[in-house]
Amino acid sequence: MTRPRILVARAIAPATLDRLARHFDLTPNADDAVWSREEFAARLQDQDGVLTTGSERIDGALLAACPRLRICANMAVGFNNFDTDAMSAHGVQGTNTPGVLTETTADFGFALLMATARRVTESEQFLRSGAWQRWRHDQFCGTDIHGSTLGIVGMGRIGQGIARRGAHGFGMRVVYHNRSRLDAATEAECKAAWLPLDELLATADHVVLVVPYSAASHHLIDAAALAKMKPTATLVNIARGGIVEDAALAEALRERRIAAAGLDVFEGEPTVHPGLLAVPNVVLTPHIASATHVTRQAMADLAADNLIAFFEGKGPLTPVNRPLAAPEKIAAQRTADR
């Protein structure tokens, strides 16, 4: 029997590729080329499945051009690159990689918070430029982390990890906003109290965004939201680009209407709004919150596990949609197509 054909859209760990090659007719992206939408569609037309990395858009137009496709396994916890309604309508399964990156991403979120509040990037650039000639009592004074109020927008696994670090490690008062309030036991574990978003923005000394991206969260933090924050507050985004209106944030930073920001994600990345590049009071990193060797390997392995389980008829481990056709019907159709 012919093995399923799988496209790997970007370079991933060789050990995962070797494992996939034992199960599938594999087409890797060995050069880690960034394909145009047209190139991606052309390469995908004769494939049964694809391992994506969050950068490849899967929507109705692409699916219509790739009728053989049965599963898209995202190597990311977010899946805003998937049009899940279109995928379900076409009988295509989507999966993601939750859980395996929670603690690593929470570590980075807190690191970015600390670098932002304590002006680490700004002061390092000052030192490297040769401008540091003497000590001053007010030189690069930032904002305290310990004992301050931490506001978390999006209290899923990663948000809870950041809350625990803040409450238990730094004695922070933690407030959060979420679509639904957490149960009392989880709130107690995180030492966190729910607030309406406007009240959180007005109260918090440090705001961290961990909310999933959707139409509802697009530009959740816009000029009006930024105006509600304290002028001494910091904003950190490790969620997705588009949750923050980058142009409005750049203006607020330039005018010092908030103290500083730390951003790991951007609208239209890898392009960064030029206004953000022009202000000193922002820490910028290239979407690396989950970037440790162990975690990226675990993400690749879970994406591979989803592909293997799906084509073995066991169903995906971490589905993000419910295809209209059952897995056994999809398998039968794939066989019939040959």
Alpha carbon distance 41, 14 (integer Å): 24
pLDDT at 306: 98
State pLDDT tens for residues 116-127.
Answer: 999 999 999 999
Q: What is the pLDDT of residue 157?
A: 96
Q: Return the structure tokens found at 82.
A: 């998937």
The predicted structure's pLDDT at residue 257: 98
Q: Is 168 a catalytic residue?
A: no
Q: Which of 326, 303, 300, 295 shows the shortest CA–CA distance to 49?
A: 303
The torsion angles phi and psi of 174, rounded to 5 degrees, stand at -110, 125
What value does the mean pLDDT take over residues 31-52?
A: 96
pLDDT in tens, 51-63: 999 889 999 999 9
Catalytic residue among 119, 240, 273, 296: 240
Among candidate residues 26, 73, 52, the one with its CA nearest the CA of residue 316: 73
The yes-or-no verdict on residue 336 having pLDDT over 70 is: no
Q: Check if the beta carbon of residue 182 is closer than 8 Å to that of residue 192.
A: yes
Residue scoring higher pLDDT (30 or 337): 30
**287 classed as catalytic:** yes
The answer to whether 169 touches 190, Cβ cutoff 8 Å, is no
Task: Summarize the confidence of residues 59-85 as an average pLDDT.
Answer: 96
pLDDT reading at 338 higher than 60: no
Tally DSSP H helices, then E strands, for the chain. 15, 12
pLDDT in tens, 158-188: 999 999 999 999 999 999 999 999 999 999 9
| Residue with the two structure tokens 């000639």 | 133
Q: Which of the following is catalytic: 23, 103, 269, 334?
A: 269
What is the Cα 81 distance to its own chain's centre?
Answer: 11
Encoding tokens for residue 309?
Answer: 């389980």
At residue 10, the 3 state secondary structure works out as coil
Q: Residue 176 — left, alpha, or beta (φ > 0 → left; ψ -120 to 50 → alpha)?
A: beta
User: How far is C-alpha 86 from the chain's CA centre?
Assistant: 22
Q: Which of 83-87, 120-124, 136-140, 328-332 has the lowest mean pLDDT?
A: 328-332
Over residues 217-221, the mean pLDDT reads 97
Alpha-helix runs per DSSP H in 129-256: 157-164, 170, 184-190, 197-203, 223-228, 246-254
Coil, strand or helix at 251: helix
Q: Is 296 a catalytic residue?
A: no
What band does 36 get if pLDDT is binned at 50, 70 and 90? Answer: very high
- What confidence tens digit (pLDDT) does each residue in 278-334 have? 999 999 999 999 999 999 999 999 999 999 999 999 999 999 999 986 444 444 444
Query: Are the C-beta atoms of 327 and 310 separated by less than 8 Å?
Result: yes
* pLDDT reported for residue 337: 41
Three-class SS state of 192: strand
